[in-house]
Amino acid sequence: MPLLLFIEQLLNGLQFGVMLFLMAAGLTLVFGVMGLINLAHGSLYMIGAFAAAATAAATGSFLLALMASLAVAAIAGVIVEMTVMRRLYDRDHLDQVLATFALILIFSEGTRWLFGSFPLYLDTPAWLKGSTQLPFGITYPKYRLAIILVGLAVAAGLFLMIARTRIGIQIRAGENDREMVGALGVNIARLYTLVFALGAALAGFAGALIGAIQSVQVGMGEPVLILAFVVIVIGGIGSIKGAFIGAILVGLTDTLGRSLLPLFFGVFMDTSSATTIGSSLASMSIYILMAAVLIFRPRGLFGAA
Amino acid sequence: MIRETTLNAALLVLLLAVPLAALILDELFIITLATRAVIFAIAGIGLNLALGFGGLVSLGHAAFFGIGGYAMGILAYHAQTYTPLIEWHFVIDGTKSMPVIWLTATIASAIAALGIGALSLRTSGVYFIMITLAFGQMFYFFTISWPAYGGEDGLSIYVRNGFAGFNTMDPITFFAICYAMLLAVLWLVARLVRSSFGLALGAARQNEDRIQAVGQRPFTLYLAAFTISGAITGLAGALFADLNRFVSPTMFSWQTSGEIMVFVILGGVGRVYGPVAGAAMFILLEHVLGGLSEFWHIYLGAILLGIVLFARGGLIGLLAGREVADD
């Protein structure tokens, strides 16, 4: 494979990984702080994308659409947290899985009812259309590059928030000992709602950003959700750093696997069967990666022992 | 409050009476619905063994359901196209015989469950849920991208497979076969959970340290339960494929895993007959709500949410007035 093409795939993998991080960050925070496994996180991603598509269609502004995705997903998150999730914190994981599975059904069908079954389209703004020239003669789509930069910025902001701010300290304390934090006068219920809304907003934001590359449709959240689960399991549940490294790892494995594996098998078999075997294996590669990580580190790369 | 045994018996009688009544009234569609309920019940019973009795929350049982389905699909496909399944130093042909297919489906899904279980059981809790989910997805994407057996489009089997000279294309005959399988599986699982193995499994679920202290390995118990659980769900998959005469990657999708879990929870976790009630109720809801509105999943979701939040023993628990099944 020519080097330039390889670097382009590397960037694609990075872009995919950064998006996965936005999803996984919310999931891992919610699990780390509240001990809740939330299958409906993918629905918040979908809600963000639909909010963005509807806003863009109404106003024509991409930036407004992004803000709408953040706001609507956060509001949806607050509502869900206050009506349903609250009752689930003390329940076992089975109840949580089931209740949030029920939420997926409600959200998906609700969205279908509101917007119909046909996909919506969210256009990238004019100033992000086309490609840009990077050093070493690499051309890369502006929009994807923007996603990488925005994603890295959000990740940096999140790290700073967790490490440096008062809220971050409370979140970390909540992960360690929620009763003690409550006893020290932190409003736990409000902290939980806040963390959930933050995760929801990040998911919605990711949905809007990806919505401009793919189409916005019902059911778009679940494939990403499962990948985000893979990410946080690889990284170690509850760890933001783990989520980031896991996301990049999954993004690169998936993207490079899809382009490299067929070529790799092409070395010692004919092209058509190499494509078949290569692409079948590539579609399973991240799950194989996850299984491998869990076999050697059952609590993920950065999970608490 | 009704005694649970009475309730269970009534459930089985009802499940038999509805299709018989439908036969008299010539409502063939109802018979198919009842057959679906019976097959889903078997799948749920399989999952319940791991989930209810072993406490192993598997969100990847679609893998076994799908493997069972594809065991049927692949064998029948080779028989229908007259191509050998394996042509190496020896030749293995496809088959249209149900017992052979059932055996293959059960063994294949048991082997898969043994492998997946051995890897997944290294983890626990939420990691276990997610790794089983990931294994399910692995099979899903593999079947989508592997073109030999239809890839994304799936495989159609034109004539339902045969069973000892019966006309299996006749809906009530096929229902009877599935119902008999349900009884057999219920008998097996009821025996299993009362056996020393079942008791040890229940004990491991409640307190791993204690079961270890008396010299049993929880891992072995869990793995055995997971393997049998996968095998039963695989059998259901083969029957389901035969009902539709069609297999597709959808059988492997994670929604399928979620639905099988719904059968278990709707009926009542850790009750042998729970999934039977759950599957019957699911089919009933699907039929009734589906008739009311195109968007019936909203109502299904709301009902499910209500059951999880407020009726923790499921349908049987609600009717019998006891949240927790016997331990």
CB contact under 8 A, A233 and B145: no
Q: Which of B127, B141, B304 sits opposite A284 (nearest CB)?
A: B141
Inside any domain, residue A271: no
Does residue A234 form part of some domain? no
Q: Do B309 and A222 touch (CB under 8 A)?
A: no
Structure tokens at B143: 């079947």
Q: Residue B155 forms beta bridges with which residues?
A: B247
Other C-beta atoms closer than 10 Å to the C-beta of A305 total: 6
**Cβ pair A69, A48 in contact under 8 A:** yes
Tell me, yes or no, whether A273 lies in a domain.
Answer: no
- ipTM of the modeled complex: 0.82
Cα of A299 to nearest chain B Cα, Å: 7
pLDDT at B115: 93
Given a cut of 60, whether residue A196 has pLDDT beyond it is yes
Nearest by CB: B298 against A97, A106, A294: A106
**Cross-chain CB nearest to A98 (options B126, B137, B304):** B304
Among B57, B126, B133, whose Cβ lies nearest the Cβ of A31? B126
Per-residue pLDDT of chain B (327 residues; tens, 9 = 90+): 567 788 888 889 988 989 889 888 988 889 999 999 999 999 999 999 999 999 999 999 999 999 999 999 999 998 888 888 777 777 777 888 899 999 999 999 999 999 999 988 988 888 888 889 888 988 998 898 888 888 888 888 888 888 877 888 888 999 999 999 999 999 999 999 999 999 999 999 988 889 888 888 999 999 999 999 999 999 999 999 999 999 999 999 988 999 999 899 888 888 899 999 999 999 998 888 888 888 888 888 898 888 888 876 677 777 776 666 554
The answer as to whether A229 is a domain residue is no
- Domain limits for position A157: 9-218
Chain B partners within 8 Å of A79 (Cβ): none
Q: Could you say which of B134, B145, B298 has the minimum Cβ distance to residue A287?
A: B134
A291 pLDDT higher than 70: yes
Nearest to A221 by CA among A110, A57, A108: A108
Q: Which residues of B touch A294 (CB under 8 A)?
A: 119-120, 122-123, 127, 131
At residue B327, the pLDDT reads: 45
Contact between A298 and A39 under an 8 Å Cβ cutoff? The reply is: no
Q: Which residues pair with B12 in a beta bridge?
A: none
Q: Which residue of A has its CA nearest to B266?
A: A98
- What H or E segment, with its residue span, contains residue A139? strand A138-141
Q: Which of B51, B56, B57 to mutate against chain A (most A CBs within 10 Å)?
A: B57
CB contact under 8 A, B138 and A288: yes
Q: Provide the Cα torsion A233, B224, B227, B36; round to 10°.
A: -110
Predicted confidence band at A107 (pLDDT cuts at 50, 70, 90)? very high
Lowest mean pLDDT among A62-66, A203-207, B80-84: B80-84
Considering the domain boundaries, does residue A61 fall inside one?
A: yes
Residue A167 in any domain: the answer is: yes
Q: Read off the pLDDT of each residue in A233-239 and give the average, rounded to a whole number.
A: 86
Q: Please judge whether A103 and B301 are an interchain contact, meaning their C-beta atoms are less than 8 angstroms apart.
A: yes
Contact criterion met (CB < 8 Å) for A106 and B302: yes
- Angstroms from A95 CA to nearest CA on chain B: 6
| In chain B, where the domains are located | 4-320
Contacts of B265 in chain A (CB under 8 A): 94, 98
Q: Of B171, B141, B185, B158, whose CA–CA distance to B48 is shortest? A: B185
pLDDT, one tens digit per residue, over B94-131 is 888 899 999 999 999 999 999 999 988 988 888 888 88
Cβ-defined contact of A230 to B146 (cutoff 8 Å): no
Instruction: Classify residue B311 by burial, with Cβ atoms within 10 Å: 0-12, 13-18, 19+.
Output: middle
- With respect to residue A241, please indicate whether it lies within any of the assigned structural domains: no
Segment A161-178, tens digit of pLDDT: 888 898 888 888 887 887
The position carrying tokens 């029920």 is A102
Nearest Cα residue in chain A from B260: A98
* A305 located within any domain: no
Q: How many domains does chain A have?
A: 1
**pLDDT tens profile B18-46:** 988 988 898 888 999 999 999 999 999 99
Q: Nearest to residue B50, comparing CAs of B222, B284, B256?
A: B222
Q: Which helix (H) or strand (E) holds B86?
A: strand B84-87
Min distance A164 CA to chain B CA atoms (Å): 29
